[in-house]
Amino acid sequence: MRPAAVAALLIAAGWTSPGVAETSRAFRVGAIIANGCAISADAGGGDWGTIDLGSVDGLGGGSVQASLTTATAAGLQLDCTPGMTVNLTADNGGQPLNGVRQLVHATRPADRVPYQLFANGSQTPWTSQAIPLAFAVGTSRLSLPVQARAVVPRGVVAGRYSDVVRITVTW
């Protein structure tokens, strides 16, 4: 038999030459890492902490200040993708009056105590301006200290005063 006839017979029988078979091939592996953040200051119930200004003598009034605390730390703890910048904004609370945040008496909504928030060590009140936080490469956790200050006027009605401020994180 001739070599061409033998090759044709082997191919017809399903045999292939070892030189024709492909023995290796590559495939690609990839991922896209998305920017994102998590606030690890959850104090339960969806809150990111509490600022407790304590007790003040309603007869004499006075100045009070306190810092935001959570179950685990002081301030907001943000965990974000390294290399990104986030912006934090705060609303004017639930009962602002002329653009000023107000602590409101629990049963007498007309009785109010104005207060201000300060963030990240600033002496400028945190109103509607965004606070940028940059997460340098190699950094994924930052803390944002937040403080409240109020001047309680003399002769304020006794009782519990409170407000709720909503913080928004964008990137």
Instruction: List pLDDT tens digits, range 148-167.
Output: 999 999 889 999 999 999 99
Q: Which long-range contacts (CB under 8 A, 24 or more apart) does 134-140 make?
A: 134/84, 134/85, 135/80, 135/81, 135/82, 135/83, 135/84, 135/85, 135/86, 136/82, 136/83, 137/82, 137/83, 138/82, 139/82, 140/79, 140/80, 140/81, 140/82
Q: Which residue has the tokens 């994180």?
A: 169
The C-alpha atoms of residue 78 and residue 140 are separated, in whole angstroms, by 8
* Tokens found for residue 153: 């006027």
Q: State the pLDDT at residue 157.
A: 92
- Tell me, yes or no, if the pTM score tops 0.85: no
Domain range list for the chain: 34-170
pLDDT tens by residue, 44-80:
566 788 999 999 887 888 899 999 987 777 888 899 9
Specify the CATH superfamily of domain 34-170. Answer: Fimbrial-type adhesion domain (2.60.40.1090)
pLDDT score, position 86: 95
81-133 pLDDT, tens per residue? 999 999 999 999 999 999 999 999 999 999 999 999 999 999 999 998 999 99
d(CA 113, CA 93): 13
Handedness of CA 52, 57, 119, 87 (dihedral sign): positive
